[in-house]
Structure 1
Amino acid sequence: MTTHPAHPAARSIRTTPEGLMWEPSERWVRGRKGDVTVVDSRHPVLVWEPHLPVPQYAFPRADVRTDLLRPAKNPPTGKHTGSRVFYDLDAEGEVRENAAWTFPADDLAGHIAFEWFLRADTGLDHWYEEDEEIFVHPRDPHKRVDALPSSRHVQVEIDGRLVADTRAPVLLFETSLPTRYYLPRADVRLDLFDATDHSTGCPYKGTAEYWSWRGGGDVPPNVLWSYPDPLPAVAAVRGRVAFFNEAVDIILDGERLERPETPFSRMLRTR
């Protein structure tokens, strides 16, 4: 039996002089543009930029179809921490500008990072960790998401009006975010909201649908959401609805909670 040295993924997160944090990953990661596999790596690294709360993958050049990359014609400035080398992706008869780039850190020399498919004109179409497709951004190995059924008493008010009242919530605990309260639809006044065409994706929970408050006032749109087909790890929230704690008043077991200040607070204010 061959003995291998300890895998570098067991080492702690490292920080570069540019403020990047990174660590090796043991996951097999693939990225595709249409039917073309552009990235196929068993040695990716996760990189955290100072201004982004979620990680990104960077890959050894040997694991990337560099024959499909061209020096970017219109490289952006200030988009990624200190990055000045960008590439356009030319695959399947389509060019996606600035789809890939390199980080300036010596530690990450020889690695290429890719935009994820958030719009039709950038990044790759599909990403996989092992044989499971993942969405929006890589999952953070230091983040935990737990969906726990509870018998706590949860009430929700908007502008002083009671819009939800339940003793059968599912509490979703997600690292670095406030607890979200997923409520049975029968216990929510959905007649006071209008369904919208807004949707978002989450690599931990799936794709969400949204509702907006009908009552006017200083309530941002899309304040209420649900995951009709959540990922298996949070199956307990299926079909339930949750409110942005940042924009409504939540009363938990008779105690009115303070509205948290999160990155979503800024997003809601600019809608």
Structure 2
Amino acid sequence: MTTFPTSRAVRTTPEGLLWEPSDRWVRGRKGEVTVVDSRHPVLVWEPEVPVPLYAFPREEVREDLLRPARNPLTGTHTGSRIFYDLDLDGELLENAAWTFAAADLAGHIAFEWFRRAGRGLEHWYEEEEEIFIQPRDPHKRVDALPSSRHVRVEIDGTLVADTRRPVLLFETGLPTRFYVPREDVRLELFVPTDHHTGCPYKGTAEYWSWRGTAGVPRNIVWSYPQPLPAVGAIRDLLAFYNEAVDITVDGESLARPVTPFTRTLSQQPPSS
């Protein structure tokens, strides 16, 4: 029988994992099948991975659907001990779950999230809200605050946005993002793309690329048409990658920040 920890303090294992109990009710599904239904999940941070994952007590997992992996992965998930394939009516999802060797996490099973790894469970819920890509980090804040700052955005010397009614989005570990009403953006200078991304804090974003001749990465502008309730203030507003455009706030030019997105943007082909 698994002993459920109750303290909220973050622990460290000899393998370098960080873990912390969560009070959230978490469920994971593949199609219409609920594979995980847990009221005692544990958040786990792997070394050098900035986002957490969940591990669950075995009693709260459909172990009858798990089979020892036919082709277990190597070199993934710090301290992983055993990998499992998920068998759903003959459909085998390879390496969908695993256990950690850490003694602190004995009796727990972790799962891949399809929208993060391309395999694993497709739908995840915290309480009654569906979440995407990864669990939300309790040590991270995301605040969307309406503002009256004067924000100007330029691309290759062309003014593309000018507003005094932005919404500033403050997200731990990332630069401030400036969300601009569509009426204050020269949207005719951009073309919509079929690119979409998911965020556990904001929802699903749609994108636009620059029509100009500058070597600007694709999908430089994004918007959340149906953001999650906590950041509802950014609905339908447009934001630009600070890493690749020039932004001026109240007359002060902002330096282009270096973030995990900097490399991703530099590897994209230009929009024209």
Query: Which TM-score band (shorter chain)?
Result: over 0.9
The equivalent position to 2:63 in structure 1, one of 61, 66, 79, is 66
Name the structure 2 match of 1:48: 45
Name the structure 1 match of 2:16: 19
Name the structure 1 match of 2:175: 178
Letter in 2 for 1:178: P
Q: CA deviation at 1:171?
A: 0.3
1:139-171 CA-to-partner distances (Å, cap 9, x unmatched) read 111111111110000001111211111111000
Name the structure 2 match of 1:257: 254
Name the structure 2 match of 1:104: 101
Name the structure 1 match of 2:190: 193
Asked if the contact 2:217/2:265 (under 8 Å) is kept, the reply is yes
1:28-63 CA-to-partner distances (Å, cap 9, x unmatched) read 111111121111111110001112211100001111
Between 78-87 and 17-26, the greater mean CA deviation after superposition: 78-87
**Distance across 2 between alignment mates of 1:10 and 1:104:** 22
Asked if the contact 2:142/2:172 (under 8 Å) is kept, the reply is yes
Between 73-82 and 189-198, the greater mean CA deviation after superposition: 73-82
Name the structure 1 match of 2:78: 81
TM-score scaled to structure 1, two decimals? 0.94
Q: CA deviation at 1:67?
A: 1.1
**Distance across 2 between alignment mates of 1:128 and 1:35:** 13
**Distance across 1 between alignment mates of 2:234 and 2:173:** 19
Name the structure 2 match of 1:222: 219
SS where residue 114 of structure 2 aligns? Answer: coil
TM-score scaled to structure 2, two decimals? 0.93
Name the structure 1 match of 2:120: 123
Name the structure 1 match of 2:157: 160
The equivalent position to 2:267 in structure 1, one of 232, 249, 270, is 270
**Distance across 2 between alignment mates of 1:267 and 1:96:** 29
Q: CA deviation at 1:88?
A: 0.7
**Distance across 2 between alignment mates of 1:198 and 1:127:** 22
SS where residue 144 of structure 2 aligns? Answer: strand
Q: CA deviation at 1:120?
A: 9.6
Q: 1:11 to 1:230 in 2, by over 3 A?
A: closer
Q: 1:216 to 1:80 in 2, by over 3 A?
A: farther
Unaligned runs of 5+ in 1: 1-6
Between 30-39 and 112-121, the greater mean CA deviation after superposition: 112-121
Tell me, yes or no, if structure 1 residue 141 matches structure 2 residue 162: no
SS where residue 230 of structure 2 aligns? Answer: helix
Name the structure 1 match of 2:202: 205
**Distance across 1 between alignment mates of 2:197 and 2:28:** 21
**Distance across 2 between alignment mates of 1:160 and 1:86:** 53
Asked if the contact 1:34/1:92 (under 8 Å) is kept, the reply is no
Letter in 2 for 1:98: N
Aligned-pair Cα RMSD in Å? 1.5
Asked if the contact 1:155/1:252 (under 8 Å) is kept, the reply is yes
Letter in 1 for 2:102: A
Q: 1:9 to 1:174 in 2, by over 3 A?
A: farther
Asked if the contact 2:8/2:22 (under 8 Å) is kept, the reply is no
**Distance across 2 between alignment mates of 1:9 and 1:197:** 45
Q: CA deviation at 1:8?
A: 4.0
1:235-260 CA-to-partner distances (Å, cap 9, x unmatched) read 11111000011111111111111111
Q: 1:270 to 1:82 in 2, by over 3 A?
A: farther
**Distance across 2 between alignment mates of 1:35 and 1:163:** 45
Letter in 1 for 2:65: L
Q: 1:24 to 1:120 in 2, by over 3 A?
A: closer
SS where residue 191 of structure 1 aligns? Answer: helix
Asked if the contact 2:197/2:204 (under 8 Å) is kept, the reply is yes
